[in-house]
Amino acid sequence: MRRKFLVLLSLLIFIPVLFLNEEAAAKADRFFFEKQGRAIWEIPTNKKMIALTFDDGPSEIYTPLVLDVLKEYRAKATFFVVGERAENFPEIVQREVKAGHEVANHTYTHPNIRTMNKDSFIKELRQTNEIIHQLTGFSPKLFRPPGGAYNESIIYTANEEGYTVVLWSWHQDTLDWKQPGTSTIVRNVINNVRNGDIILFHDYGGNRMQTINALKKILPELKKQGYEFVTVSELTRMNPNYKYLNLMKTFKYSNELPPYTNRTYREPGNAKE
Ligand SMILES: [Zn+2]
């Protein structure tokens, strides 16, 4: 009897501890941030819409070529620009905005923000914001961390600075920065595309001709399938679960969680390709 009581007692003590640990462990993962609208990876919608995104530019060589292809297929995209590069090529950033694309923040120097202190990170965000604002008259609302690095501190700081953190759809990462070959990039996108995807490309950081040639195949094919190419901000408006994103400026450690549906994901690296 006494032993039974002791077993019961220890269960009563350990079960809550297990749950607490689980909650603590869940904190740093994608679902935790996504549930609160602090960061997005894609925007599930029943509309055939996708967001093409380009990181690390502007590049004086490749960005104009990307813009030419987008124009040809009347596609809108989002450019996550590096502040110091935007400063060097202001006319390209202005061309992006004039063509109806969204310009977003990708830090000032593309540092490793995981190891950076909070003040330096904030400086990176604000310097870039200032340049984009000077060049376009708009303040960016979206931030993508260099290398897709995220943790609580990065996401909360970006939120406090008024940004929604934008990652990308893991199930069809183009890996174009590795220059895997035009046809591999095309296949990664075409074979895995889903409504509401946020697709990652790069318009700087090496020879980007594979990316540009892949776009020339991807855009007409997806257009034929009925997809529309919109900016990330436009895409967020397609799902009522994400309507709060536009209020992010005033969103600060809110306990008000948005409605959320569970979905399944493959982590990057677990993909077959
Ligand atoms: Zn980058």
Ligand 1: distance of its center to the CA of 60 in Å? 17
Could you tell me if 226 and 46 are in contact, meaning their C-beta atoms sit under 8 angstroms apart? Answer: no
Which helix (H) or strand (E) segment holds residue 69: the answer is helix 62-72
From the candidates 101, 106, 171, 202, which is the catalytic residue?
202
Domains identified in the chain and CATH numbers: 39-250 (3.20.20.370)
**What is the distance in A from the centroid of ligand 1 to the CA of 127?**
16
Ligand 1 centroid to residue 205 C-alpha, Å: 9
- Residues 6 or more apart in contact with residue 264 via CB below 8 angstroms: none
- For the question of residue 202 being annotated catalytic, the response is yes
| pTM for this model (two decimals) | 0.82
Per-residue pLDDT of the chain (273 residues; tens, 9 = 90+): 566 766 665 655 555 544 444 444 456 788 888 877 789 999 988 999 999 999 999 999 999 999 999 999 999 999 999 999 999 999 999 999 999 999 999 999 999 999 999 999 999 999 999 999 999 988 899 999 999 999 999 999 998 898 999 999 998 889 999 999 999 999 999 999 999 999 999 999 999 999 999 999 999 999 999 999 999 999 988 876 665 555 444 333 333 333 333 334 333 433 332
Q: How far apart are the C-alpha atoms of 85 and 146, rounded to whole Å?
A: 14
Distance CA 87, CA 144 (A): 18
Q: How far is Cα 145 from Cα 51, in angstroms, rounded to an integer?
A: 17
Q: Which residues lie at CB < 5 A from ion ligand 1? A: 55-56, 146
Query: Which residues, in sequence order, are CB contacts of 189 under 8 Å at separation 6+?
Result: 172, 174, 199, 214, 218, 222
For the question of residue 55 being annotated catalytic, the response is yes
